[in-house]
C-alpha cells in the first residue's frame, strides 16, 4: 500500500484527572514550538520527560531549551497534559502523509509569543549587563518576525533604556522592516536612530 493510500492515524485524547498548571501548559507550548509540524504528541512528551531514546538523540531534541522541563512527571502524566492542551485548543493537530503532528492554535501562538518576549528580554538584560553584545546575533536570527516586533514594542512601552546597546548591536544584521522598528524603538527611548546599511531584504 502506498503512503497516499494509508488511512490517517487516529487520535484519541486521554485527559488527566486534574488540569495542568499554567507552568505546565507553558512548558508544553514551548516544547511544541521547537518542533511544530516535526513531532506529534509522543515526541513532545519525550522532550518534556527528558528522554534519552534513540529518536530524541537522533533529532537532537535533547538540546532544546525545554528538554526535560517536566521530568518530575511520569510519561503518562505528561502525555495526558499534552492531550488536555489539544482538547482545550491550546494546540491543534495537522496531518502530514497521514501522520498527526502538533501545531499551535491561535490562542497557543499568542501565548508562545508572550513567553518568547519574556525570555528574550531576560537574555537582553544579561547581555547588556555583561557587555556580551556579540551574543545578539545569530541568537535572534531564527525568531519569527512577530516575536521581534513584540519585543521591540515591549521595550518601548516599558522604557527599557538600558537595553539600547543590545538594539544597536542587533540593528546591522536585520532586514529593513525590523531595522525600521529598531529605530522607532530607539527614538521612543529618547535616543537617535541608526542609518540603514544597504541590504536587499525588505
Write out pLDDT tens, residues 101-159: 999 999 999 999 999 999 999 999 999 999 999 999 989 999 999 999 999 999 999 99
17 and 92 inside one domain? yes
Query: Is the pLDDT score of 199 beyond 70?
Result: no
Please compute, for residue 200, the number of CA atoms within 13 A of its CA located in the half-sphere on the CB side: 0
**pLDDT tens-digit readout, 152-192:** 999 999 999 999 999 999 999 999 999 999 999 999 999 88
92 and 119 inside one domain? no
Model pLDDT, residue 18: 95
80 and 126 inside one domain? no
61 and 78 inside one domain? yes
Residue finishing a domain among 79, 104, 129: 104
Model pLDDT, residue 43: 97
114 and 89 inside one domain? no
66 and 157 inside one domain? no
Task: Answer whether residue 182 is part of any domain.
Answer: yes
100 and 117 inside one domain? no
Least trusted range by pLDDT, from 30-44, 57-71, 182-196: 182-196
Query: Is the pLDDT score of 193 beyond 80?
Result: no
Residue finishing a domain among 87, 104, 121: 104
Q: Please answer whether residues 6 and 98 qualify as being in contact, where contact means their C-beta atoms are separated by less than 8 angstroms.
A: yes
153 and 172 inside one domain? yes
91 and 136 inside one domain? no
CA distances from 72 to 25, 51, 84, 151 (A): 15, 12, 18, 32
Task: Answer whether residue 88 is part of any domain.
Answer: yes
Model pLDDT, residue 202: 46
CATH number at residue 26: 1.10.10.10
Containing structural domain, residue 62: 3-104
Residue 18, C-beta contacts closer than 8 angstroms, at least 6 positions apart: none
Q: Which three cell numbers stand for residue 193?
A: 536612530
64 and 155 inside one domain? no
Model pLDDT, residue 200: 45
In the block, cell 509569543 appears at 113
The band of 51, judged by pLDDT with boundaries at 50, 70 and 90, is very high
Residue 22, C-beta contacts closer than 8 angstroms, at least 6 positions apart: none
Amino acid at each position: 500500500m502506498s503512503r497516499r493510500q494509508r488511512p490517517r492515524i487516529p487520535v484519541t485524547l486521554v485527559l488527566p484527572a486534574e488540569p495542568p498548571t499554567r507552568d505546565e501548559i507553558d512548558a508544553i507550548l514551548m516544547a511544541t514550538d521547537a518542533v511544530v509540524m516535526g513531532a506529534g504528541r509522543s515526541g513532545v512528551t519525550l522532550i518534556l520527560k527528558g528522554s534519552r531514546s534513540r529518536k530524541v538523540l537522533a533529532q537532537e531534541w535533547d538540546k532544546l531549551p525545554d528538554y526535560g522541563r517536566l521530568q518530575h512527571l511520569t510519561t503518562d502524566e505528561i502525555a495526558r497534559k499534552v492531550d488536555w492542551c489539544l482538547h482545550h485548543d491550546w494546540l491543534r493537530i495537522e496531518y502530514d502523509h497521514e501522520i498527526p503532528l502538533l501545531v499551535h492554535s491561535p490562542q497557543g501562538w499568542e501565548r508562545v509569543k508572550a513567553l518568547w518576549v519574556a525570555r528574550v528580554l531576560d537574555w537582553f538584560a544579561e547581555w547588556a549587563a555583561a557587555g556580551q553584545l556579540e551574543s545578539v546575533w545569530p541568537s535572534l536570527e531564527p525568531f519569527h518576525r512577530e516575536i521581534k516586533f513584540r519585543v521591540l514594542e515591549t521595550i518601548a512601552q516599558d522604557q527599557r533604556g538600558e537595553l539600547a546597546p543590545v538594539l544597536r548591536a542587533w540593528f546591522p544584521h536585520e532586514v529593513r522592516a525590523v531595522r525600521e522598528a529598531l529605530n522607532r524603538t530607539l527614538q521612543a527611548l529618547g535616543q537617535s536612530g541608526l542609518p540603514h546599511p544597504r541590504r536587499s531584504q525588505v
